[in-house]
Amino acid sequence: MTTSDSDIAIIGMACRFPGADSTDRFWEVLREGRETLTRFTDEELLAAGVPAARLADPRYVKAGQTIADVELFDAELFGFTPEEAEILDPQHRVFLECALTALERAGVDPERTEGNIGVYAGAGMNTYLLHNLAARYAGASSVDQYRLMLANDKDFLATRLSYKLNLRGPSLNINTACSTSLVALHTACLGLLGGECDTALVGAVHLGHARQGYQYQDGMIFSPDGHCRAFDARARGTVIGSGAGAVVLKRLADALADGDWIHAVVKGTAVNNDGAGKTGYTAPSVGGQAQVIADAHEVAGVSADRIGYVEAHGTGTPLGDPIEVAALTEAFRRSTDRTGYCALGSVKTNIGHLDTAAGMAGLIKTALLLEHRTLVPSLHFTEPNPDIDFAASPFAVNTETREWASDGPRLAGVSSFGIGGTNAHVVLQEPPTRSTAPQARDRELLVLSGRTEDGLHRATTALARHLRQHRDLDLGAVAQSLGLGRLGRRHRVALVAEGVRDAAMALALGDEERLVRGSVEHEPSAPVPVLTGTAPASTAELYKSVPQYRSAVDELAGSGGAAELLLSSGGPRAAFAHEYALVRTLLAWGVEPTGYAASGPGLAVAAALTGALAPADALALAAGTTPAGFAAPVLPVFSAGTGRWLTDDEAATAAAWTGTGELTAVDGALAGIGGHALHLAPADGTAADLGHLLGLAAAEWVRGADLDFAALRGDDTEAIDAGVPRRVPLPTHQFDRRRHWIDPGAQESAAPRVRERLVDRFDPADPTASLLLVTDHLVDEIGGVLGGRHLAGLDTNLFDLGLDSLVLIEVVAKLSEQLDVEVPATAFVEFPTIRAFVDNLAELLGLAAAPAATAAAAGRTSLRAQRAAALRG
């Protein structure tokens, strides 16, 4: 395998293409040589608004390459109100979901990933704004027009994603027509190599007018029958399709060091423009295309005779196909005289021309070919275009699924050429050979979460199916991918599994004796470990397989084999060492106690953990030696001896740390501080082994603990060779989509309704009734944005509900008109609940005394916390 410092790894991929809502389904389409064209009935077309006269025209092609359910979107996951989702360009919606899926497939959680994540993306023409929204918002207010612009302009595709997912690298919107995807990829590679970001998300989306055919006209790009016959004698064009794709990139050296799953390697990219040297603005150019391909070869440092496949732009037009093959031949002839050795294909024969996302479809297809070491057929090719001299070229159109034989690293090229002349070419190489690491331990903690119970159930089912189909996966890599590569959302389930097969079965059966379930509240309950100093039955496995446990015991025992002797000695010293190491491990894994509850020998452990005694002195205390003095504990300790929390004076005496008694009152004491007991001692008959320790971590994670899964895995990264995957592609978040759509022809204006103003309905003698009118008005307006009056709680922080300042500025503007008084536009920022806002307004209007509620009492949370809370659901 040849590598260089400029190599870029593709570590995650996601797509939503015609007939394929995932990369796995897309690979099935490609491997089976299927076309995903949809034929529409007259009834469907009439319902979609196609005039009957057009349907009668024999040139009207009743077919399209579409994706399903574009009107559906998981708005709450990304923190959109129903009204915001309704006016948001469906291209932005689809891309948000596709981008999140790509990151999760790569095992990248933005909240945990070190370094900056950049976004390089583009979208097609917004037909939703043109056909569905324009009439309805013709009379909108300036604020609504501004919101409409933010929701629908191409300029906000990448930056909206960066905002919603908290990505801090460059966020660039890139649009060069059909070559958008690969130009975005080229720009992202430069950003990675230049250090502007450490991970890059690259993608594009194009959604055509839903479920409509098109008018064929001779000489245009559109096919007369819906089929794209790239390079064939009968080729007459293509069909424009809808779709979205995204990939996640990282510098190859970093990807290998991090144990990322690598689908393919970007060896080189190039971009140029035809300039004026062609017959017209929309025409292609042999010279421009040949140069960009040759430039990419030079950047990649490869000779053309090593390239075994080219994914062509391949639109299937009588003019474009011969120009493309001529340009490819010219570029290849700069370094090879061989003929007929390089396979040629076009994904447009499968899924149509996806416009801005076309290059992304070609890129993902080619990465899959390299990863599977398989060539797939380019469809509808029977006889070559007579204007293409394949015999004298390096190329032959591949028409069957076959093994990709090669005597060296497999290399491929991907081309994408945009109307207007911006050309892009990418050279890809197969992924490095994946090494296999020895199984570190025979049990792992698997975690799954969802915004809703139903979403979690579907995620659990999907993972069970995937593990059943891929039993050769490394269980540790599965655990790491789930723990590090997913944001922990509200509804959670955890499983301590003994192998991939065991995990698949437990998840599929919903084994409630083994599955640990929980739901995270806004203020999670804090753990209070219960320390009893119970001697364990066996600790050898923990000492061997858990680095943090081993380190804590070594700290107590010193070197020279004393640790094993300490643990095996039995009695209070061994019990102390085990319980102390157990808690130290949980602390290292991210469990954060709010205090400790202790009885008997466990009090000595509590003394060590809270800093009241040095660990060595606490160990001596457990063995019966009373130390000279005690420091103030850094966390409260509930003592069985006193039946309550130790006071500072009590904690300074030896008697407080040596008492006896039962922890009978602990549950009541913990309820008062919002905590819960974490019982460290295993149940009767259960070994104090790795499974028990992982079970303790599982119980805390489902309650909301922010576990450090890198520490929990305990991998000695220096001992693992580069190339051993510690992340693997797994099923991703299961979206809870709802319909957010305005149908074409909706004439209702977004302008304020004409009705009697609030101020005209005020009763000067009854200020309370006047304030109730204002409150009801606000509940009506804000409820309309949120999707129902019941959602507009009087004491709920409106920003926590997903409302932004623009929405609330519009609400205030309408209220000002209703009251015939200027209400400060920023009032909701200072008073972010309806009740606090009305109380403050009452003072401004002279209807009440100074409000009791204040901004501090209202307690607006940070923007970052709002985003994290929205994603967690």
Summarised one tens digit per residue, pLDDT across range 107-124 is 999 998 989 999 999 999
Percent of the chain with pLDDT over 70: 94
Q: Is 758-872 the same fold as 8-429?
A: no
What local confidence, expressed as pLDDT, does residue 523 receive?
78
Specify burial of residue 298 (Cβ count, 10 A radius: 0-12, 13-18, 19+).
Answer: middle
What local confidence, expressed as pLDDT, does residue 865 receive?
42
What local confidence, expressed as pLDDT, does residue 721 receive?
60
What local confidence, expressed as pLDDT, does residue 838 receive?
87
Residue in 15, 178, 228, 342 annotated catalytic = 178
Provide DSSP, 491-509: EEEEEEESSHHHHHHHHHH
Residue 866 has pLDDT above 70, yes or no: no
Backbone φ, ψ for residue 681 (5° rounding): -70, 135
Residue 8 has pLDDT above 50, yes or no: yes
Provide DSSP, 76-96: GGGT--HHHHHHS-HHHHHHH
Backbone φ, ψ for residue 639 (5° rounding): -105, 135
**pLDDT tens per residue, range 162-178:** 999 999 999 999 999 99
Residue 746 has pLDDT above 70, yes or no: no
**pLDDT tens per residue, range 295-313:** 999 999 999 999 999 999 9
What local confidence, expressed as pLDDT, does residue 853 receive?
37
Helix (H) or strand (E) holding 11: strand 8-16
* CA distance to 11, 414, 490, per residue, from 364 (Å): 12, 10, 32
What local confidence, expressed as pLDDT, does residue 723 receive?
63
Provide DSSP, 417-459: E-TTSEEEEEEEEPPPPPP-PPP--S-EEEEEEESSHHHHHHH
Cα(345)–Cα(366) distance, rounded to whole angstroms? 10
Percent of the chain with pLDDT over 90: 67
Q: What is the pTM of this model?
A: 0.88
Q: Which amino acid is at 161?
A: L
Domain 526-701 grouped into CATH 3.40.1110.10: no
What local confidence, expressed as pLDDT, does residue 717 receive?
45
The second-level CATH assignment, the architecture, of 8-429 is 3-Layer(aba) Sandwich (3.40)
Tokens found for residue 870: 């929205």
Q: Measure the N-to-C terminal CA separation of the chain; round to a whole number of Å.
A: 44
**pLDDT tens per residue, range 45-71:** 998 889 999 999 999 999 999 999 999
What local confidence, expressed as pLDDT, does residue 234 receive?
96
Pick the CATH number of 444-519 from 2.60.120.380, 3.30.930.10, 3.30.70.3290, 3.40.309.10: 3.30.70.3290
Choice between 652 and 856, residue whose per-residue pLDDT is larger: 652
Residue 856 has pLDDT above 60, yes or no: no
Residue 559 has pLDDT above 70, yes or no: no
- Does 733 qualify as catalytic in the annotation? no
Cα(414)–Cα(528) distance, rounded to whole angstroms? 57
Mean pLDDT, rounded, for 829-847:
83
243: helix, strand or coil: strand
What local confidence, expressed as pLDDT, does residue 152 receive?
93
- Does 380 qualify as catalytic in the annotation? no
What local confidence, expressed as pLDDT, does residue 588 receive?
96
What local confidence, expressed as pLDDT, does residue 873 receive?
52
What local confidence, expressed as pLDDT, does residue 402 receive?
97
Residue 350 has pLDDT above 60, yes or no: yes
Nearest of 14, 57, 74 to residue 802 by alpha carbon: 74
The whole-chain average pLDDT of the chain stands at 89
Angle (nearest 5°) at CA 301 between 298 and 302: 95
What local confidence, expressed as pLDDT, does residue 210 receive?
76
* CA distance to 287, 413, 775, 821, 823, per residue, from 767 (Å): 79, 74, 12, 16, 18
What local confidence, expressed as pLDDT, does residue 848 receive?
64
Nearest of 617, 606, 611, 582 to residue 656 by alpha carbon: 606
Question: Do 612 and 633 meet the contact criterion of CB atoms below 8 Å apart?
Answer: yes
Where does the pLDDT of residue 440 fall: very low under 50, low under 70, confident under 90, or very high at 90 and above? Answer: low
CA-CA-CA-CA torsion sign (858, 864, 865, 870): positive
Q: Hey, which of 2-6, 391-395, 711-715 has the most confident mean pLDDT? A: 391-395
Residue 788 has pLDDT above 90, yes or no: no
Nearest of 35, 33, 58 to residue 239 by alpha carbon: 35
**pLDDT tens per residue, range 582-623:** 999 999 999 999 999 999 899 999 999 999 999 999 999 999
Mean pLDDT, rounded, for 376-383:
97
Where does the pLDDT of residue 473 fall: very low under 50, low under 70, confident under 90, or very high at 90 and above? Answer: very high
Strand extents, DSSP E, 583-664: 596-598, 637-639, 644-645
Residue 652 has pLDDT above 60, yes or no: yes
Where does the pLDDT of residue 714 fall: very low under 50, low under 70, confident under 90, or very high at 90 and above? Answer: confident
What local confidence, expressed as pLDDT, does residue 193 receive?
97
Residue in 209, 297, 353, 740 annotated catalytic = 353
What local confidence, expressed as pLDDT, does residue 538 receive?
73
Residue 847 has pLDDT above 90, yes or no: no
Choice between 40 and 684, residue whose per-residue pLDDT is larger: 40
Residue 22 has pLDDT above 50, yes or no: yes
CATH level 3 topology of 758-872: 1.10.1200
Tokens found for residue 804: 């932004």
What local confidence, expressed as pLDDT, does residue 141 receive?
80
Residue 824 has pLDDT above 70, yes or no: yes
- Does 178 qualify as catalytic in the annotation? yes
**pLDDT tens per residue, range 179-216:** 999 999 999 999 999 999 999 999 999 999 877 899 99
Nearest of 308, 314, 374, 372 to residue 342 by alpha carbon: 308
CA-CA-CA-CA torsion sign (687, 693, 694, 697): positive
Domain extents in the chain: 8-429, 444-519, 526-701, 758-872
Strand extents, DSSP E, 520-577: 526-531
What local confidence, expressed as pLDDT, does residue 158 receive?
97
**pLDDT tens per residue, range 570-584:** 889 999 999 999 999
Cα(103)–Cα(91) distance, rounded to whole angstroms? 18
What local confidence, expressed as pLDDT, does residue 819 receive?
82
What local confidence, expressed as pLDDT, does residue 435 receive?
79
Residue in 206, 263, 313, 692 annotated catalytic = 313
Which of 171-175, 247-251, 632-636, 809-813 has the lowest average pLDDT? 809-813
Across-strand partners of 13? 247
Mean pLDDT, rounded, for 94-98:
98
Mean pLDDT, rounded, for 153-169:
96
Q: What is the 3-state secondary structure (H, E, C) of 642-710?
A: CCEECCHHHHCCHHHHCCCCCCCCHHHHHHCCCEEEEECCCCCCCCCCHHHHHHHHHHHHCCCCCCCHH
